[in-house]
Amino acid sequence: MFLAQTPSPQIPDLPAGPALDRVRGPVEIPPFEPWQIGVMAALGLLVLCLLAWGTTRFIRSRTNRRRAIQPHSAALAELDAAATHTADNDERFAVLSSLALRRYFEDGIGIPALERTTLEFLHSLEGHPKLNSDASASLAQFLEQCDRVKFAQASLTEAERNALTTSAKQLIQQFKQVDDAAASTTFTSPSLQRTKEASQP
């Protein structure tokens, strides 16, 4: 009886908390500060500029090297490389040898040859002042024999490979001699004309 009549303890009231109208949602913190974004953008732009500069310099250096090497010298070197590095592959020898001579005609003489068939290329050379009948026949024989190896899987003996390389080199040397003679004539003609004029009374 005594325990049942004992009053239960009173819990004090909680203090007043903050008003709910002042509670705000979570604040988003950006992963990078504005100055950090600016620095990264500047670094990215710097990298792009360096890449562009390096690419331009590389292209210019390759172009200058190509200009420094005369077309006939490059063609002769390509023919030697084709003969040296394709001893066991006649098809590759024919492809590289034909490509070397065609590239010389296109780069050294200005006659489109790389994208033309043999028949189209030979037809474009008809009546060319630098190509006499013997050179035309030699060029036609060279290209036709290379085509037989490339497309008909014909084989070549060592003597035939040497003959093809020699024939191509002779054609290049012939064109080189014609160009040198023309350049020499152009260079000396004004001086000869002045000499003739001075000798006249």
Residue-wise pLDDT tens digits, 122-135 = 998 888 887 888 88
**Nearest alpha-carbon partner for 171 in 130, 139, 129:** 139
User: Is there a single domain that holds both residue 93 and residue 169?
Assistant: yes
User: Is there a single domain that holds both residue 153 and residue 61?
Assistant: no
User: Is there a single domain that holds both residue 145 and residue 165?
Assistant: yes
In a domain, 97, yes or no: yes
Task: Assess contact for 171 and 138: CB atoms under 8 A.
Answer: yes
User: Is there a single domain that holds both residue 55 and residue 143?
Assistant: no
In a domain, 190, yes or no: no
Number of structural domains, the chain?
A: 2
Kindly indicate the confidence band of residue 95, based on its pLDDT and cuts at 50, 70 and 90: very high
In a domain, 22, yes or no: no
Which range marks the domain in which residue 63 is found?
A: 35-68
Total residues found in the chain within this entry: 201
Report the C-alpha gap between 59 and 9 in whole angstroms. 93
In a domain, 101, yes or no: yes
Residue-wise pLDDT tens digits, 8-67 = 666 777 666 666 666 566 667 777 777 778 888 888 888 998 888 888 887 777 665 655
User: Is there a single domain that holds both residue 179 and residue 109?
Assistant: yes
User: Is there a single domain that holds both residue 64 and residue 88?
Assistant: no
pLDDT above 80 for 102: yes
